[in-house]
Amino acid sequence: MGIIRNLTAKLILIRQSKVIKNQKIIMSRRLHARRTDGVDKNVWVEFTQLAADYKAVNLGQGFPDFSPPQFIQDAFCKAVSGGPQMHQYTRAFGHPPLVKSLAKFFSRIVGHEIDPFEDILVTVGAYQALFCAFQALIDEGDEVIIVEPFFDCYQPMVIMTGGKAVYVPLRPREGSDILSSADWVLSAEELAGKITPRTKAIVINTPNNPLGKVYKTEELQMIADLCIKHDLLCISDEVYEWLTYDGAKHVKIASLPGMWERTITIGSAGKTFSATGWKVGWAISSGHIVKHMKTIHQNSVYHCPTAAQEAVAHGFEREYELFGSSESYFQQLPAMLHHKRKKLASCLQSVGLQPIMPQGGYFMVTDISSIKVDLSDQSTKDEPHDFKFVKWLVKEKGLATIPVSAFYSPEHSREFDKYIRFCFVKEDSTLDAAEEILKKWSQGK
């Protein structure tokens, strides 16, 4: 057996080296397109693989390790056995039952009559909605203001348009203990100072990943005023819109006066119904904006999976009926996560770490500067401290987390490399396993 396996491995190697040689001969000029330069590194590719390699307790990548609610699983099963059309293409810009239920649901929240066929684009997760927005709306030389820390893909997506990403950081309030994500604030002066005649859009994310900040109406109004004054678009990533805690209230910037016409609101069924693998997302905006996003969509992905859209449509119909009641999943999920968030916070506190309490979302950030470990083995590269620390934690302790400097621009990442991010949207048993690792470590075992 061993000999055969060795021989097979050798044959594969010989074949691969031939392919590589052939490619070199065929492509005597540069193989890759320039737009892939500088955007090849990806924190999820690196750290999700590392967590798998070390079979770590995974509080890294943000996904629930529990099942979606029964009603949405049933809706999916029903869709799959719902006849031949459920297995074929549907409308390119969104399955009609889904765009209708999204329009009905969100018209009530935005306070604007949303046209299901003009104002909505269904996409392969929120990722593709973001991609379509940047591709459709940002030209070479345009500037896009991104509030830091930001979900990492905004930056490469802007770069791939030929536009320029300009950063403005949320800063910890000075002179007080940073206990909550609400203590991270955006300076109106600093934001206004970044606007130039080339600025096309401001990107915000509320509730924010990784900090969990939920923007207050006054903060959104300040951003809205600048968008209106300077005629800017606002790309508002609201994938965690139902997940707020301790009375924080999610407000849609599109619902503020004068903002519907210039805001692209991005959502995700993955986060909404705890089914991240379904990859159903959407963008909602005025038809005059969505039509350009449709152009990108029709020339790239074209259709999204029919059965998953059918199931998500059922989910929204159900939530429309139950809205505000205790049976609504949009009430039940944050209630469940509120408990998990507390559990993780007390675990971190018990080992001497001070978490920044998130007002919303999936994640909790903590300062690691008090932890002294020898990281000299972790990398020969000149990596930020948090990258080295997270690698050490996976390899030496079997616990996966995410370095927070990955959510900053290269210009600012060193300033913020003393934080790591934990995902708490996990089974209690997963959180218990993480607690055990941290406790043993703090006891020197």
Residues in the site for ligand GLN, rule: CB under 6 A?
A: 44, 61-62, 209
Residue 150: name the closest of 211, 201, 200 by CA.
211
List all residues 6 or more positions away from 139 whose beta carbon is below 8 Å from its beta carbon.
161, 162, 163, 200
Question: In terms of C-beta distances under 8 Å and separation of at least 24 residues, what long-range contacts does 94-97 make, across chains too?
Answer: 94/120, 94/121, 94/122, 94/282, 94/304, 94/309, 95/122, 95/304, 95/306, 95/309, 95/310, 95/313, 97/309, 97/310, 97/313
CA atoms within 13 A on the CB side of 174: 1
**Which stretch, 119-127, 291-299, 323-331, 417-425, contacts ligand PMP (CB under 6 A)?**
119-127
Select the binding partner of residue 270 from ligand PMP, ligand GLN, none (C-beta < 5 to 8 A, by kind): ligand PMP
CB of 126 to ligand PMP, least distance (A): 3
Q: DSSP assignment of 353-420, as one string?
A: --EEB-SBSSEEEEE-TT-----TTS-SS---HHHHHHHHIIIII-EE-EEGGGGS-TTTGGGGTTEE
Neighbours of 162 (CB within 10 A): 13
Q: Which is nearer to ligand PMP, 268 or 413 (CB)?
A: 268
**Which stretch, 28-36, 124-132, 311-319, 375-383, contacts ligand PMP (CB under 6 A)?**
124-132
Select the binding partner of residue 268 from ligand PMP, ligand GLN, none (C-beta < 5 to 8 A, by kind): ligand PMP
Neighbours of 30 (CB within 10 A): 7
- Interaction of residue 311 with ligand PMP, rule CB under 6 A: no
Check residue 77 and report its DSSP letter.
H
Length of the chain: 445
Write the interaction track for ligand PMP spanning residues 134-163; mark x where CB under 6 A is met and - where it is not: -----------------x------------
Q: Which is nearer to ligand GLN, 154 or 260 (CB)?
A: 154
Q: Which is nearer to ligand GLN, 48 or 328 (CB)?
A: 48
Beta bridge partners of 282: 122, 267
Write the interaction track for ligand PMP spanning residues 275-294; mark x where CB under 6 A is met and - where it is not: -x----x-------------
**Which stretch, 32-40, 71-79, 121-129, 302-310, contacts ligand PMP (CB under 6 A)?**
121-129
CB of 23 to ligand GLN, least distance (A): 29
| Phi, psi (rounded to 5 degrees) for 239 | -65, -25
Dihedral (CA of 74, 80, 84, 87) sign: positive
CB of 428 to ligand GLN, least distance (A): 20
One of 116, 125, 169, 360 touching ligand PMP (CB under 6 A): 125
Select the binding partner of residue 186 from ligand PMP, ligand GLN, none (C-beta < 5 to 8 A, by kind): none
CB of 200 to ligand PMP, least distance (A): 20
Q: Is 31 helix (H, G, I), strand (E, B) or coil?
A: coil
CB of 269 to ligand PMP, least distance (A): 7
Alpha-carbon distance of 258 to 276, in angstroms, equals 33
Select the binding partner of residue 413 from ligand GLN, ligand PMP, none (C-beta < 5 to 8 A, by kind): none
Select the binding partner of residue 126 from ligand GLN, ligand PMP, none (C-beta < 5 to 8 A, by kind): ligand PMP
444: left (phi over 0), alpha (psi -120 to 50) or beta: left
Quick one: which H or E segment has residue 128? helix 125-137
**145, 409 Cβ separation under 8 angstroms:** no
One of 54, 106, 127, 389 touching ligand PMP (CB under 6 A): 127
Q: Which is nearer to ligand PMP, 60 or 195 (CB)?
A: 60
Q: Which is nearer to ligand PMP, 273 or 392 (CB)?
A: 273
List all residues 6 or more positions away from 32 whose beta carbon is below 8 Å from its beta carbon.
none
- Interaction of residue 307 with ligand PMP, rule CB under 6 A: no
Select the binding partner of residue 44 from ligand PMP, ligand GLN, none (C-beta < 5 to 8 A, by kind): ligand GLN
- Interaction of residue 237 with ligand PMP, rule CB under 6 A: yes
CB of 44 to ligand GLN, least distance (A): 4
Alpha-carbon distance of 187 to 161, in angstroms, equals 27
User: What are the residues binding ligand PMP (CB under 6 A)?
Assistant: 62, 125-127, 151, 205, 209, 237, 239, 268, 270, 276, 281
